Structure 1
Amino acid sequence: MTETLLSADRLHMTFPGRRGAAEARAVDGVDLDIAPGEIVALVGESGCGKTSLARTLLGLERPTSGRVTFSGKPLDYGSRALKAYRKRVQLVLQDPSGSLNPRHTVYDAVAEGLRIHGYAGDEREAVAHALSRAGLRPPERFFLRYPHELSGGQRQRVVIAGALVLEPELIVADEPVASLDASVRGEILALLLRLRDELGLSALVVTHDLGLAWNIADRVAVMYLGRIVETGRVEEVLTSPQHPYTQALLSVLPEAPGDPVVLTGEPPDPSRIPGGCRFHARCQILASGEADAAGVSEACRTVDLPVLSGAGGAQVACHWAAARVTEGAP
């Protein structure tokens, strides 16, 4: 895919440290492209910077440096321009119960975006159409219901309908099925795929679950400590992961062969990002001596790695993986 809908270019987002501490680098140099009709999964542990990156792409946070581009134009942070942008790029949150006002009916919840943006058409028809697209049929049956009268899956469909009613070009879904029962997750994922196929909708799906990424994404970007460390087509990355961090995340899936990789410690504080590879303090390859055997252990500890480009084929930011490629390892 050569055409780009949404693009992050050398994006940084820092937050002031507490009590005079150093700034926290939540997003620390990210390039990421999303093409029309493409679903990209942004994967990583809690605290790796996924949500901060998503909020920056949505225009909810202004980057410290770098830029966000949409349809070839840099994002304008003026209030009128942001309002127009948010009509084209919509957010779907993790917890539908927290996203919906318990005092608002389903109709009002879905119509809210239309009213904010001054929709001049037939509001009732637009709400019914959005609910129907989200799988709530017949839509009129749900108009006067309240969130507490719906199942978890139905509430998530209402949230999705509220995003669809403005006919966006891209949605950012933050852990869209994390709060749902396993039996309902597949239905919501199937809905997102159907919307992509029918409407050409693009999506950035933020998740810690590589299994979800496998089921829904065209491409996956694995994030660690503010930076993307591996990216590529989902089949490439999840069947042949090159970065030790990606290998560790995959090893805990029920269908993964071998024993799970147990990472030591917690991710470092984003205000104290270590030198060299930012994963080296927890890296099972470095700890086992494999990096030393490949002659890269010193580089792992001291030599920083470049920012991966936003699109293209499989890429990995890892000294050991690069050494294996040089040696012709499979």
Structure 2
Amino acid sequence: MTLLSAQALHVTYPRRHGSPPARAVDGVELGIGAGEIVALVGESGCGKTTLARALLGLEPPTGGRVVFDGEPLRYSSRALKAYRRRVQLVLQDPTGSLNPRHTVYEAVAEGLRIHGHGGDERTAVAEALSRAGLRPAERFFLRYPHELSGGQRQRVVIAGALVLQPELLVADEPVASLDASVRGEILALLLRLRADLGLSALVVTHDLGLAWNIADRVAVMYLGRIVETGDVEQVLTAPRHPYTQALLSVLPEAPGDPVVLTGEPPDPTRIPAGCRFHARCQVLASGEAERAGVADTCRNEDPEVLGGDARAQVACHWARARITA
């Protein structure tokens, strides 16, 4: 069952002086199933965080809709408050997420107080900290963020999300600011929470190694749109989109030479005609697309938007030509 989905989702930002709007999210279809971990990957500026904010209700879409548990998301204060009990955000910078003047207890209890928790607050906070791996929980109640390690601070942030007993976590680069030795512990924690609580998660990351270790499914984003999606093993061992191939080629264990993409991603106010990746595409530049008979199509025809289901899909004329050949 699909728990959360983006349906034909658009988020645009107006520009001054009559300039075209920036199309940060440009017709995304993406679904997250109950108990599923989906990794949303791509380089900086591709729209990952904007998409995550839209799924959380923090960024109202300019087109399309967000659907949670079969119901379209509504944007009244009351509806969003109820929604955020069920869908919680975990940010990448635990130091910036935590108020330095609040104790660990106050940081975790804040969500309960905002949402009017009717039960035993102390028990709920202790349980959330224990689930996040801070045991015995009472030892951490009166500590301040500066007294904790980076990994412990991230666990406090996760406990603050868990205390409301959500059904889905949106984790934006959850281990980017942590030492390598701590990253594995936090990833193992997220997997354990899925196993113990049935939690779903959308993990936003630029790190394909992280996606490999934690996700069931991966969605690769480029310039506001999903360009490849499928089971994590399938996408990361046999990528079909040239952009995914380029991202994977720079990993230390990748075979062959790294693919160095030319230039920067285009300005989202001036998305090129045809395939939005064609100006940087190594397949087009090498003549492979020409030999496959799709070079003109790449330059002039926009690939169709991928569906939001769990099928393996790719938005690339060349990759599709190879499949049908």
Q: What TM-score does the superposition give when structure 2 sets the normalisation length?
A: 0.99
CA–CA distance in structure 2, aligned partners of residues 287 and 233 of structure 1: 29
CA–CA distance in structure 2, aligned partners of residues 168 and 276 of structure 1: 41
1:60 matched to 2:58: yes
Shift of 1:155: 0.2
Which residue identity does 2:95 align to in structure 1? S
Aligned pairs (5 A) from 1:170-249: 170-249=168-247
| Structure 2 residue aligned with 1:108 | 106
Aligned pairs (5 A) from 1:1-330: 3-327=1-325
CA–CA distance in structure 2, aligned partners of residues 19 and 183 of structure 1: 49
SS of corresponding position for 1:266: coil
CA–CA distance in structure 1, aligned partners of residues 203 and 17 of structure 2: 34
Shift of 1:17: 1.4
SS of corresponding position for 2:304: coil
CA–CA distance in structure 1, aligned partners of residues 152 and 243 of structure 2: 35
Q: Which runs of 5+ in 1 are unaligned?
A: none
1:121-150 CA-partner distances (Å, limit 9, x unpaired): 000000000000000000000000000000
CA–CA distance in structure 2, aligned partners of residues 134 and 201 of structure 1: 13
Shift of 1:172: 0.2
Shift of 1:20: 2.5
CA–CA distance in structure 2, aligned partners of residues 79 and 245 of structure 1: 39
CA–CA distance in structure 2, aligned partners of residues 42 and 179 of structure 1: 18
Q: Which runs of 4+ in 1 moved over 3 A?
A: none
CA–CA distance in structure 2, aligned partners of residues 24 and 146 of structure 1: 40
CA–CA distance in structure 2, aligned partners of residues 101 and 53 of structure 1: 26
Which residue identity does 1:294 align to in structure 2? A
Which residue identity does 2:309 align to in structure 1? A
CA–CA distance in structure 1, aligned partners of residues 122 and 282 of structure 2: 56
CA–CA distance in structure 2, aligned partners of residues 111 and 138 of structure 1: 17
Shift of 1:280: 0.2
1:155-201 CA-partner distances (Å, limit 9, x unpaired): 00000000000000000000000000000000000000000000000
Q: Superposition RMSD on alpha carbons, in Å?
A: 0.5
Q: Which runs of 5+ in 2 are unaligned?
A: none
CA–CA distance in structure 2, aligned partners of residues 242 and 185 of structure 1: 29
Which residue identity does 1:226 align to in structure 2? G
Shift of 1:312: 2.6
CA–CA distance in structure 1, aligned partners of residues 294 and 126 of structure 2: 59
Aligned pair count?
325
2:261 and 2:280 in contact (8 A); partners too: yes
Shift of 1:217: 0.2
SS of corresponding position for 2:283: helix
SS of corresponding position for 2:240: coil
2:31 and 2:310 in contact (8 A); partners too: no
2:230 and 2:313 in contact (8 A); partners too: yes
Sequence identity percentage: 82
Q: What TM-score does the superposition give when structure 1 sets the normalisation length?
A: 0.98
